[in-house]
C-alpha cells in the first residue's frame, strides 16, 4: 500500500498592490482556503483567503499572494 506525503514550498511570491513590487517571503504557516502567515523582512503578516488570492494588510500596504503549490510524494516500501 502506497503512502502519500505533501510538502509546501519554503517561500512564496507576495505582491504589494500599492506599488506593484513582488518579493519572496518565507512561508510560516498555511491552512488551505483559510489563511497563511508569511515573514516579510522579519515581520509576520497574516494573509486571509478571499476566493482566488490571499490578501492582508500591514504597514499601511496591501499584500496579495496566490496559494502555494503543494508537491505530493508517493512513498513506496
Tens digits of per-residue pLDDT, 33-67?
999 999 999 999 999 999 999 999 998 999 999 99
Residue 77 grid cell = 516500501
The SS3 assignment for 59 reads: coil
Domain ranges of the chain: 13-68
* Spatial separation of the C-alpha atoms in residues 50 and 56, rounded to whole Å: 10
pLDDT value at residue 1? 56
pLDDT at 2 over 80: no
* Spatial separation of the C-alpha atoms in residues 73 and 33, rounded to whole Å: 21
**How confident is the model over 13-41, as pLDDT tens digits?**
999 999 999 999 999 999 999 999 999 99
Amino acid at each position: 500500500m502506497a503512502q502519500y506525503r505533501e510538502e509546501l514550498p519554503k517561500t512564496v511570491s507576495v505582491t504589494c498592490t500599492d506599488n506593484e513590487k513582488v518579493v519572496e517571503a518565507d512561508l510560516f504557516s498555511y491552512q488551505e482556503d483559510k489563511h497563511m502567515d508569511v515573514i516579510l523582512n522579519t515581520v509576520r503578516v497574516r494573509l486571509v483567503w478571499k476566493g482566488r488570492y490571499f490578501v492582508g494588510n500591514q504597514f499601511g500596504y496591501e499584500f496579495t499572494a496566490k496559494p502555494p503549490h503543494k508537491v505530493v510524494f508517493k512513498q513506496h516500501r
